[in-house]
Structure formats: C-alpha cells, structure tokens
Amino acid sequence: IGGDPELLLAALDPEQRAVATALHGPVAVIAGAGTGKTRAITHRIAYGVAVGAYSPTAVLAVTFTTRAAGEMRGRLQQLGARGVQARTFHSAALRQAQYFWPKAYGGELPSVLDNRMSLVAEAAGRLRVRVDTARLRDLLGEISWAKVSNTTPEDYARVAAPLDRTVSGIDPETVARIFTGYEELKRQRGRIDFEDILLCTAALLAEHDDIRDQVQRTYRHLVVDEYQDVSPLQHRLLELWRGNRSELCVVGDPAQTIHSFAGARADFLTGFARRHPNATVVRLVRDYRSTPQVVGAANAVMRAGRGPTAGGGIDAVELQAQRPPGPEPLLQESQNEADEAAEIADWLAGLAARGVDYREMAVLFRINAQSPVMEQALAERNIPYLVRGGERFYERAEVRQALHALRTQARAITELDGDRPADAVAEVQATLGALGWTEQPPSGAGAVRERWESLAALVAVAEDLAAASAEPIGLPVVVEELERRAQAQHVPSAQGVTVSTLHSAKGLEWDAVALFGIQEGSLPFVLATRPDEVAEERRLLYVGLTRAREHLHVSWSRTRGGGQATRKPSRFLDPLLPAHYRGGAAPSAAGDQRQRRKGTVLAAHCRTCGHALHDAAERKLGRHADCPATYDERTLTLLKEWRKQTSAEEKVPAFCVFTD
C-alpha cells in the first residue's frame, strides 16, 4: 500500500482515518492499548507524504524506546514514507546538540558519562554519607527524577519535601547536597549524563534564537507516540521544537502511564485539548491486537482498579475486542521461581512445536533481577532468546568497545596487509573473540549473557553483509555499515524469545506473552506503597497483559527458594482468579479443599494436543476430551468422575483449574 493515499486510508477504521487525515493543526489521540494509535500516526505521516502535504525530511516522529523507533522507521518505509526521522527523545536531542554545539559554544559536546554511579558515590563520600549499592541506585534514581522534572539542586529540598519522596531514608537536604556535588564533579570532569542530553539541547535551543529557528524550519511536523509518559523536561524540549506553530500530533493512553517515578505526567496528554483549544481530539476503543480472552483479562484488571481508592485517578476505558476468540489465558502457580521459569519455558517450547515463531514470544517481568532464573530455564532447553528489548544498543559499554576494536583493526589491515584476501566475518570473529565472543552462547546468565549477545549481534551483522554480497567483503565494509547503523540507531534484529522488563515492552506486541513472577512484592513492587504508586503498578500489569496477541501465561511462585510458602499472587490478579483460590478465605466446598492441599495449578490448554479446553472437567484434567492422543483407562475414568462432580459448576472462571 506504500505511497497510495487511498490504500493507506483503507487500512484504517473511521476514527483512525480521522487521525490520518487531520494533517494540520494540533491533534491528540487518547486511546487504550492495541487500538491502533501507533498505526494511525504512521499512516498519518505516510498519507501526508503521499498527498504531498509533508516533505518526509520535515517530519520528526519521537517515541520512547530505540526498538519502538526502529519499528516505526521500518513501518514508514513499507508505507512509502522513506526519509522520515523516527527517533527517541534522546537520540533526536543528541543529534541536534552534537551538530549545533560547536557553533553555539565552540568545541565538541562533552561526552556522556559511562559510570554515573561512581560519581554519586564520590559526592556522597565527600559528605560522609554512607552508601551501599541499593542506596546509590536510589540516589541516582532521585537525581534523574529531579532533572527530568526540571528541578535544580537548589530547588530540590523545597520541591521534594512536601512530595513525601523517600530516598533510602536520606533527608531531602542531604540529597540536595549530594545532587549538587554530583553535578559539580561531572562538570569538573567535562562530562554530561543521560538527562543532560535533553537539558543541554533545551538550553541550547532556548539561548540561541538562530539555531532554534533553524531547527523549527527543518522539522515542521512533530508526532509523539506514548505521550502519556512524557516528562516535564521532554515537554519543554517539545515546546522548543514546536515554537508557536500548531503542527503537533500526540498519541497516548493514560492507563499506560508507567514512568511517573521518572517524572512522567499523563496530564500533559489529558490536558492537551485545554492547552490547544482548536485541537482535533480522537478516541479509539476497538482493540485490534488481542483476542477477546486477552482483552477480557486486561479489562478486568483495570476495572478492579477503579474508584476513589484506586489512586492516580486514571480510569481505563473498556477495550472492545475485534479479533476472533483464541485460547484462554493460562494462570499458573509454582512452588518456586525455578519451577515457574521451567513451566514457562515448556509452554513456549510447546507453542514453538505448534508453529509459533520464537521471535513472536516474550517473557516479561517487573525487575531485571528476575531475568537470570528465566534465562537459565530457556538456556537449558536450547530456546533462543534475547535479553532486553535492544535499548540503547550502541551505548552499551561492550558495543562501544567492540566498535572501537573493529575500527582499529580495520585501519591496521588496510595499512599493513592490503593484499590479504578479504574475509570480514573471520576478522570480526577474531577481533570480537578477543573481547569474549564465542561461537556458542555462554552457559552463564545475566551480565555475561548480555555481553555475549551484544557481540553476537555484531557478528551476525558481518555474516548478513557477507551473505548478501556477491564478492568477498573486507572488514572496512562492516565497520562502515556498523557506523551507519549506530548513527541511525538501527539495532541488529532480534532472534528468539524476547526477555525483558515490563517497562521496556511498552508499545510492542507478540503472539505469545508470559508474565513471570506476578506475586505480591514483585508486582506491586515492594517499594510501591502509596496508593498512586500501587495504581502505577497495576497499569504496569495492564501494559504487560495487552502485549499478547493470542497466547497469554501469567504466573507466580509461592516461595523464593523452596522453604515456607510466603508469597501470594499479586492482588491485581484477584479478578482473574477462581473464587476459591483467594488466600485465607474459608473453602466453600470439599473439592476446593482437596485442590488446595495438593497445590493448585491453573491451566487452559490440553497438555497433549494444545487445544483450548472448554469445560470444567477438561480443565481440571488438563486434557481435551476429543484429544487425538489416546487415554489410558484411568484417565478416562477420572475425566468421567470430574464431569459428574463439576456439572453443577455451570460458571467456571475463564481461567481454569485442574489438579496436578
């Protein structure tokens, strides 16, 4: 449909079409997950280009993750809108700052700090404040929050005190002094940090009318995805890009605000129409992504969060499922995390056996520390997987180190060994081998694995280039291509199951999604105690549930190691769990008690043929009655027994129960 305006519009529903054809003036789309917001804005850009209203290079589309930006660029190309800039806030700002810095202040833009933690530690040390890693992380998070909230070290104590912000028990005055010390150390070393990229760009544009004019003339049409998570600092930058023009289109979902700990404010989205009285405001409610079963679960979780005690004051609009029915979501309890991870890995392997591509699967969790257990289970089964969603790939230390080594090596070979036959792949492998790359993935999880993956992704680029070229290619060709991709933030494509935090998964979708470790203490996270914080954790679950197109698996474990069962499923799962499950409630029937003693496992597909299970008896058994696999006598008797027992249970919860 690339480039054909009629076809571009034909791929949209009437409300989405209203977005795509509102080519001028302020536009806001406020809509739930999977309703086609991102689709509507990509089509809008392509449509604007197709009808000649936009020059592709005059459009700047911003989103939140490198991966989302990459996907948007890919989509735009397919739709015939080549040359449109689709970037994260940071990458767009960094480019501008690097380009204009010499003109504005002379010299290069200072380079970005590698290890901010050590500077915070130094600043704290000078004040004799004792810090451990957890405290340092807290302090760093707080400093980031202050910076994106436009709060200076001088203002910090005054702003933070009434907000009841807790930083490992350190009082606001001391935090402010550490913040001041950190900024000073950074200046002395001639470095900037991640937030400074935006702060410096905003300052540069604010202070230099000529540069601001030039930027505003270059980018005439601004589009922002995931606008509900915009911080005051990003908002300020956006205002500088926009100037007094009205060519701004924003889309977002207040129910997916998940960055308020980092200063994000959904009221920029909800207040858009107030700030822009002539805005076109469109609401979308049809969910095109997920099956009715997945949509039902997401709606139920958000519905239960409504009301005066909900906190945050954000009520999700019910999504209306458009897709045909699919399998019931699977809810599962395990004895410990290792078992839970194993169950998920088996589930994924089962789906793969039924033809679902591993690249169309994801395992999502609340915090990075949950990743290694999951990785281990995948690695043991030889399931290919990719940690992290490709966030800031080119900023990873190992990638920068690798690029540096490859550059140096490329120079050495051309200068010294000009007539050696070109074999880029072998050169890349040898160079990265010295940095720890190996043919086979390491058995270790976590940081070791992440490092290997980054290097393996670079090797894969060389292999792809060599395979695509008719003649042997040399290392310089690979280096040049990598430099080009780094400039464009083009992340090497992911192979295998995505293993990621819930935060990094927003905006994305997979056929199958497993949410891992959905128990109290993890979600809501143990540090989320205020009602608004708990409400944000609920939204995080909503984001997770709505990533699934078809297959959904939600699980938790009762113990950490295997001792006393101390953990409970997340309170947000209440509306999804069978009534008898709720911990502590008096069991209503003997059957319930029996199940409880044995430990309840909840499932929805036939364990043998994978077919969705429809009645309570089937679900209890975990087998499909007409399963092509033959049952032994005992299984059939059990099935009949359960049929009798459960015939009265007309209404079985959508999420089935069977005894293992």
Annotated binding residues, as ranges? 31-38
Interface pick for ligand ATP out of 5, 8, 9, 16 (rule CB under 6 A): 16
Nearer to ligand ATP, 192 or 264 (CB): 264
Nearer to ligand ATP, 13 or 463 (CB): 13
Which of Mg ion, ligand ATP, none does residue 288 bind to, with CB < 5 to 8 Å depending on kind? ligand ATP
**Cα-to-chain-centroid distance, residue 310:** 24
Interface pick for ligand ATP out of 2, 3, 4, 13 (rule CB under 6 A): 13
DSSP structural state of residue 612: B
Residue type (1 letter), 59: V
Residue type (1 letter), 593: Q
Query: Residue 37, interface with ligand ATP (CB under 6 A)?
Result: yes
Tokens 């809108």 belong to: 81
- Three-state secondary-structure class, residue 391: coil
Residue type (1 letter), 309: T
CA distances from 363 to 65, 409, 435 (A): 18, 38, 29
Beta carbons of 104 and 208 less than 8 angstroms apart: yes
Residues 6+ apart with CB under 8 A from 122: 181, 185
Nearer to ligand ATP, 254 or 476 (CB): 254
Site map (CB under 6 A) of ligand ATP, residues 484-523, x = contact: -----------------------x-x--------------
Nearer to Mg ion, 20 or 604 (CB): 20
Sheet containing 361-365: give its strands across. Answer: 330-334, 548-557, 510-515, 361-365, 497-501, 385-387
Nearer to ligand ATP, 337 or 536 (CB): 536
Query: Residue 21, interface with ligand ATP (CB under 6 A)?
Result: no
Nearer to Mg ion, 38 or 336 (CB): 38
Which range in 10-18, 169-177, 358-366, 491-499 contacts ligand ATP by CB under 6 A? 10-18
For 284, phi then psi, to 5°, come to: -120, 140
Nearer to ligand ATP, 153 or 252 (CB): 252
- Within positions 379 to 398, which residues make up the interface with Mg ion, using CB under 5 A? none
Query: Residue 507, interface with Mg ion (CB under 5 A)?
Result: yes
What tokens were used for 461? 């680029």
Which of Mg ion, ligand ATP, none does residue 388 bind to, with CB < 5 to 8 Å depending on kind? none
Rounded Cα distance between 343 and 473, Å, is 45
- Within positions 252 to 281, which residues make up the interface with ligand ATP, using CB under 6 A? 253, 256
Beta carbons of 178 and 126 less than 8 angstroms apart: no
Where does residue 311 fall: left (phi above 0), alpha (psi -120 to 50 degrees), or beta otherwise? left
Rounded Cα distance between 652 and 642, Å, is 13
Query: Residue 12, interface with ligand ATP (CB under 6 A)?
Result: yes
What tokens were used for 611? 């077919």
Query: Residue 34, interface with ligand ATP (CB under 6 A)?
Result: yes
Q: How many residues bind ligand ATP (CB under 6 A)?
A: 18
Rounded Cα distance between 31 and 40, Å, is 11
Closest contact distance (angstroms) between CB of 258 and ligand ATP is 11
Which range in 11-19, 409-417, 424-432, 567-575 contacts ligand ATP by CB under 6 A? 11-19
Q: Is the dihedral of CA 145, 150, 153, 157 positive or negative?
A: negative
Closest contact distance (angstroms) between CB of 513 and ligand ATP is 12
Q: Which residue is nearest to ligand ATP (CB)?
A: 36
Rounded Cα distance between 242 and 216, Å, is 7
Closest contact distance (angstroms) between CB of 246 and Mg ion is 23
Interface pick for ligand ATP out of 90, 235, 289, 366 (rule CB under 6 A): 289
Which of Mg ion, ligand ATP, none does residue 35 bind to, with CB < 5 to 8 Å depending on kind? ligand ATP
Tokens 């003339």 belong to: 217
Dihedral Cα 177, 179, 184, 185, nearest 10 deg: 110
Q: Which residue ranges are tagged as binding site for ATP?
A: 31-38
Nearer to ligand ATP, 139 or 513 (CB): 513
For 515, phi then psi, to 5°, come to: -100, 120
- Which residues, listed in sequence order, are joined to residue 86 by a DSSP beta bridge? 61
Interface pick for ligand ATP out of 8, 20, 22, 35 (rule CB under 6 A): 35
**Can you give the binding site for ligand ATP, defined by CB under 6 A?**
12-13, 16, 31, 33-39, 253, 256, 288-289, 507, 509, 546
**Can you give the binding site for Mg ion, defined by CB under 5 A?**
37-38, 507
